Amino acid sequence: MEQNFVIRNCGLEQLDEIIDMERETIEILPQPDMLRRNSLEMWRCCLQPPHRCTGVWVGEKMVAFAVLYIPLEGSEEDLSPLLLHSVDTPSANYKICIVRPEWRGNHLQVLLGRCLEDEARRRGIRVLCSTASPKNEASIRSLLQLGYSYDQTLEKYGFERNLYYKML
Ligand SMILES: CC(C)(COP(=O)(O)OP(=O)(O)OC[C@H]1O[C@@H](n2cnc3c(N)ncnc32)[C@H](O)[C@@H]1OP(=O)(O)O)[C@@H](O)C(=O)NCCC(=O)NCCS
Report the alpha-carbon distance of residue 146 to residue 165 in Å, rounded: 10
Q: How far is the CA of 104 from the centre of ligand 1 (A)?
A: 7
| pLDDT score, position 2 | 61
Fold of the domain spanning 6-167 = Aminopeptidase (3.40.630)
Distances (CA, A) of 156 to 20, 33, 51, 141: 24, 11, 21, 20
d(C-alpha 22, C-alpha 100), whole Å: 9
Q: Which atom of ligand 1 is nearest to the CA of 99?
A: 39
Which pLDDT score is estimated for 86?
Answer: 81
Q: Is the CB of 107 under 6 A from ligand 1?
A: yes
Residue 65: what residue type? Answer: F
The domain limits of the chain are 6-167
Q: What is the pLDDT of residues 76-111, one digit of tens each?
A: 899 999 999 888 889 999 999 999 999 999 999 999
User: What is the model's pTM?
Assistant: 0.96
Distance 119 CA to ligand 1 centre (A): 23
